Amino acid sequence: MLSALTYPFLLSLLFIWTLGESVQLESGKKDFADRSWILDWEPPEDIKNKFLYYVSGFDYDNKPVLIMEWGKWDFQGVAEKGGMEFDNATIILDQLIDRIQAGYFAKNDTDVFPPEKEIVVIVDFGGLKLRQIRSPPTFKLMLDRMAKMGTTYKCIAYGFIVNGKKSTYYNCVTLVSSLLG
């Protein structure tokens, strides 16, 4: 049996890209094919708090250190509620991915052009609940959005997982090895 902390990590390893999505915002229909608006979109405070991520500083090479508190992300709450909250959650997660790929978090150093796009990632599994994975709408949201993280791997210089159990890493390696042959 896999640890509850293993699932979000496994979901982030998948390379699934959902194309042609549209979501309804207060300002009207936005098509994900034109993503120019997403970098500067300002999410509602409640969604920011449910899907918290932030830059905590910079490493010795001036790469931004991005903290993602996955264990506290409320996938189940927004997936089961649906509606505008679900749409906004989808957008904030896509915004995170687009910001990573665009080098949004990098320092604007006048000596370096273009800005360095690599980041350092710290994923915090603290507070993760297995109950989120049991719900089909929640699992689909997690699968769709977290799988997109695979498109950002080229932008991640290195990273750490904190507040995860030892068995999480072992289970991930075992499962991925068995899937790859």
Q: Does the residue 101 lie in any domain?
A: yes
Q: Does the residue 9 lie in any domain?
A: no
**Tens of pLDDT, residues 69-96:** 988 888 888 998 999 999 999 999 999 9
**Tens of pLDDT, residues 19-31:** 233 344 444 445 5
Please provide the average confidence, as pLDDT, over all residues in the chain.
74
How confident is the model at residue 129, as a pLDDT? 75
Q: Whose CA is closest to 68, among 81, 55, 57?
A: 55
Element (H, E) at 8: helix 6-13
Q: Does the residue 2 lie in any domain?
A: no
Q: Does the residue 70 lie in any domain?
A: yes
Predicted TM-score (pTM) above 0.75: no
**Tens of pLDDT, residues 136-165:** 888 888 888 777 877 888 898 999 888 877
Task: Grade residue 10 by pLDDT with cuts at 50, 70 and 90.
Answer: very low
Average pLDDT (49-76) is 91
Q: Does the residue 5 lie in any domain?
A: no
Q: Whose CA is closest to 126, among 52, 64, 60, 62?
A: 52
Average pLDDT (119-133) is 83
Q: Does the residue 7 lie in any domain?
A: no
How confident is the model at residue 17, as a pLDDT? 29
Q: Does the residue 13 lie in any domain?
A: no
CATH number of the domain within which 65 lies: 3.40.525
Which residues contact residue 36 at a Cβ distance below 8 angstroms, ignoring those fewer than 6 apart? none
How confident is the model at residue 117, as a pLDDT? 77
Q: Does the residue 86 lie in any domain?
A: yes
Domain count, the chain: 1
Q: Which residues of 8-31 are buried (b: 16+ CB within 10 A; e: fewer)?
A: bbbbbeeeeeeeeeebeeeeeebe
Domain hosting 171: range is: 20-180
